[in-house]
Amino acid sequence: MIKEISVVIPAHNETGNIEKLVKDTDDILLKEGIEGEIIVIDDYSSDQTLEVLKSLQKEINTLRVIRHEKNCGQSRSLVTGIRKAKYPVIVTMDGDYQNDPKDIPKLLKTLKEGEEKNIRMVVGYRKKRKDTVFKRVASKYANKIRAFLLKDDTPDTGCGLKAFYREDFLKFPYFDHMHRFLPALMKREGGEVVSVEVNHLKREFGKSHYNNLQRAIVGIVDLLGVMWLQKRTCNPPYKEITKDAV
């Protein structure tokens, strides 16, 4: 299994969730013998999220905290954290503790075993979601439309739990809400993507930062934009011709 990773967690107003998430994630890394770091990006929270993280730093040596001085959203938080990451493999999770840290080893095992098949990203599939009926239905149909148009072979691209290589992510074009299209962006760069079933936990504290109407409006615009990127991409097989070649 892969043993060197950076766990990147965007967080905005997650006072009730972030302490347990960080501690449980650290426990999993220790249990599995994984050398790694946990990077939490506080996206200009207005609650006590930053204070909780500062306190956690005193007991968890692997925790790094980055504070945005302006609220910029989940995608920018991921970019900030991944650019600062030290390790070659990235695991992302949402800050609301609906992703289960116990699933991290499963994703890493799948990523490692898929090296020869050019698998460059493993995405969590929340088959049994702990969300409202309206949110589950909206997500189901949004995923179907997206998968049909983008051909990204991913039933649940909205799952925050993903594992991939840092060098690949740094090739992606940045745009707001890009975090919902990472599988399509990976395939655009020529990498294969697979999904594995993961746990989905009920949100205990706080509330979602998105509603269905917001997702639908920005989702249509973003979907068209990613389709445009796909149509203007060419990834041909290639080989280097050296001067010694016969």
pTM over 0.85: yes
Residue 153: both structure tokens together: 């072979």
227 assigned to some structural domain: yes
Closest CA to 1 of 24, 28, 39, 20: 28
Residue 83: both structure tokens together: 């650019």
For residue 141, the model assigns a pLDDT of 65
For residue 222, the model assigns a pLDDT of 82
Is residue 166 a contact partner of residue 82, using CB atoms and an 8 Å limit? Answer: yes
For residue 240, the model assigns a pLDDT of 80
199 assigned to some structural domain: yes
99 assigned to some structural domain: yes
246 assigned to some structural domain: no
Please count the CA atoms within 13 angstroms of the CA of 206 that sit on its side-chain side: 22
75 assigned to some structural domain: yes
For residue 246, the model assigns a pLDDT of 56
Task: Return the CATH number at 112.
Answer: 3.90.550.10
For residue 210, the model assigns a pLDDT of 55
For residue 236, the model assigns a pLDDT of 79
How would you classify the pairing of strands 192-197 and 35-42? unpaired
Is residue 154 a contact partner of residue 226, using CB atoms and an 8 Å limit? Answer: no
For residue 62, the model assigns a pLDDT of 96
For residue 110, the model assigns a pLDDT of 98
Per the structure, the count of domains in the chain is 1
238 assigned to some structural domain: no
For residue 151, the model assigns a pLDDT of 80
For residue 87, the model assigns a pLDDT of 98
Q: How many CB atoms lie within 10 A of CB 191?
A: 19
Q: What is the pLDDT along the chain (246 residues), one digit of tens a residue?
A: 798 999 999 999 999 999 999 999 999 999 999 999 999 999 999 999 999 999 999 999 999 999 999 999 999 999 999 999 999 999 999 999 999 999 999 999 999 999 999 999 999 999 888 666 666 666 676 777 777 778 888 999 989 999 999 999 999 999 999 999 999 999 999 999 999 999 999 888 876 655 555 555 557 778 888 888 888 888 777 778 887 755
189 assigned to some structural domain: yes
Structural domain boundaries enclosing 134: 4-231
Q: Report the SS3 class of residue 91.
A: strand
88 assigned to some structural domain: yes
- Distance between CA atoms of residues 234 and 231, nearest Å: 8
